[in-house]
Structure 1
């Protein structure tokens, strides 16, 4: 499971080192192969181990190209999808168009989300977390049935 948030440096070429705590498991799971695409709801990127991405593709292929919202989702996710792999130093290269979309520069946040990573610019991550905390406090009285089952 991919979890936790790690502050990572991204170089001028768009390379960043996968946190060591994930490397061995990800090399075993996906041989260091990933797909990176945009998040269609937030200004961040999604990095999937290749086996997880193939599950997403299987769902996307079932969407109708005649339904505008479904076609738009296919266009956004598949059109921006880029294959990436760990190099010998454990780094991943993020293509320039994806870095531009997510406003990645200098320091980024790599956030585990169980089956994928979110990749955020550090300032946007901090803004999003503050926003999420505010919304969570507002939503608490009307939480969904699934959230009410989650006892922390």
Structure 2
């Protein structure tokens, strides 16, 4: 084999091994920062790893929000279209768009007793946002 071909092959192999090593290190490092998303039926059916950071989403069940009498604690149920429900406990200030009957995503861990301990609560909202001032105007303009 000629020297320039050998040198080119060595460079290609070096670049391939270096790229592969970089990708593997990146994947290994990011594993701790990935939260898998689960639906309520997966949580209730036990398909979720316990005491591991996950995300879950669904609708806040109407009438299920209970605020602690002391502190910022709140408990509520998340449900899906099939009425599968699980309990969430959150300690903190809820987002302004959080309401019963609205969509929400919670990030946290699931304990052995089936209670989801949320460290973050995200309120989902309708993509057709209308400010309250304009909403009043639209109601008056409807024929």
TM-score normalised by length of structure 1: 0.25
Greater helix share, 1 or 2? 1
Higher RCO by CA contacts (8 Å cutoff, separation 6 or greater): 1
Query: Highest Rg: 1 or 2?
Result: 2
